[in-house]
Amino acid sequence: MSENLNMFYAAQKQIKDACDKLKCDPGVYEILKQPARVLEVSFPVKMDDGSIKIFTGYRSQHNDALGPAKGGLRFSPTLTLDETKALSMWMTFKGAIVGLPYGGGKGGVACDPKKLSPREKEAVTRGYIRAIAPIIGPMQDIPAPDVATNAEIMGWVMDEYSKIKGYNSFAVVTGKPLILGGSQGRTQATALGCCFVIREAAKKLGISLKGARIAIQGWGNAGNNLATILHEMGAKIIAVSDLNGGLYSEQGLDVATIVKVDGSLMQKTDAGLIEYPGATKISNGDLLAIDCDVLIPAAVENQITGDNAGKIRAKILAEAANGPTTPEGNEILKTMDVFVLPDILASAGGVTVSYFEWVQNLQSYYWTKEEVNQRLEQKMVAAFENVYNFSKEYSVDMRSAAYMVGIKQLADAMKARGWLS
């Protein structure tokens, strides 16, 4: 029987398992098992050739017991409603674990951004925001960058929403350019937050990051910055990969050289993948099975499954991507000597600094990069300690503990609001 790779199913299973372990009021799972609000929109865009194309977009708001919905918007040709719903659910738990006054939101447009001109991409962004404008706002739902979106696109989001409202609304979106109310440190936040929890996990296991062997799957914003930051912390980056393949060197790759590669890490040439002296070309599958101290899936979902989880040889698995491990893969990992830093903890740095940006927008008072990073470190270290202590108190794995921390926060809030009997 083939493995169920549906992300919505995975999110529901993770929530149910944690509710059962906490012996929650049954109403907690009934409320959390699906989003409170989901919007599907269709909107027209005039293309460069003069034709009109209809695009489909989604926005899912999972739970607002702790505050307004918060979460990214992505451009992806494979984006589905179930994927959007699952991602919004995970965002709820990220916020709760780190102690943010947010619920979970997620959205995006089903499109291939590589096939859109800059003008078309802007038109798609603005069309999408006009379509979902009734349900977003600084006190309702605050989007942010995600897969294939960036600060420039967030600037268009802010501008379009502000036009609709008739006044500047900087706090409607985070991850913006600095000149439009963006926060210092936002670009590196996901990676830096992940590095903080990796450091704390390494301390618990007696592993020194000086010379620790790191393998990173994915070369987007998170993967690129993870390599740079961990290298600066003294670690040795022995393997990296992107969609086209990867590089491996037991002696360590020169990060400064790799990050200078323009665009794709593994750029295609007439001779094949880009050459790197002394390195071996590997596949993404090979990278996951490398003997290393820290393995970081920082690409897309469903990378570690029931088929390959048993091949993991890392001491620490830090999930910088959303949903990289399936429920079946997770069951296998729980039987192995692998310390898992689950996505809802390890990748929470982005939403944490997005929160900082939102606070700065509301106050019209802005912090230095040092202040942002210091506050991020405090939040991530406290969240790690809380989850780690839960794992010891309840004798559960770190993923279960993370969900239990989040569910306790949400259950307490929902009870205080009178949502539960």
Give the catalytic positions in this structure: 106
Cα–Cα distance for residue pair 378/247, rounded to 1 Å: 34
Strand order across the beta sheet in which 236-242 lies? 280-282, 245-248, 236-242, 213-217, 291-297, 313-318, 339-341
| C-alpha to C-alpha distance for 302 and 362, rounded to whole angstroms | 37
Exposed e or buried b for every residue in 116-125, given b needs 16+ CB within 10 A? beeebbbbbb
**Helix 398-416 to helix 7-22 angle, to the nearest 10 degrees?**
80
The one-letter code for the residue type at 42 is S
Q: Are strands 213-217 and 236-242 parallel, antiparallel or unpaired?
A: parallel
Task: Tell me the two tokens of residue 25.
Answer: 């009021």
In angstroms, rounded to a whole number, what is the distance separating the alpha carbons of residues 112 and 110? 7
3-state DSSP: the chain helix, strand, coil percent, rounded to 5? 45, 20, 35
Determine if residue 310 is left, alpha or beta; phi over 0 gives left, psi from -120 to 50 gives alpha, anything else beta. Answer: alpha
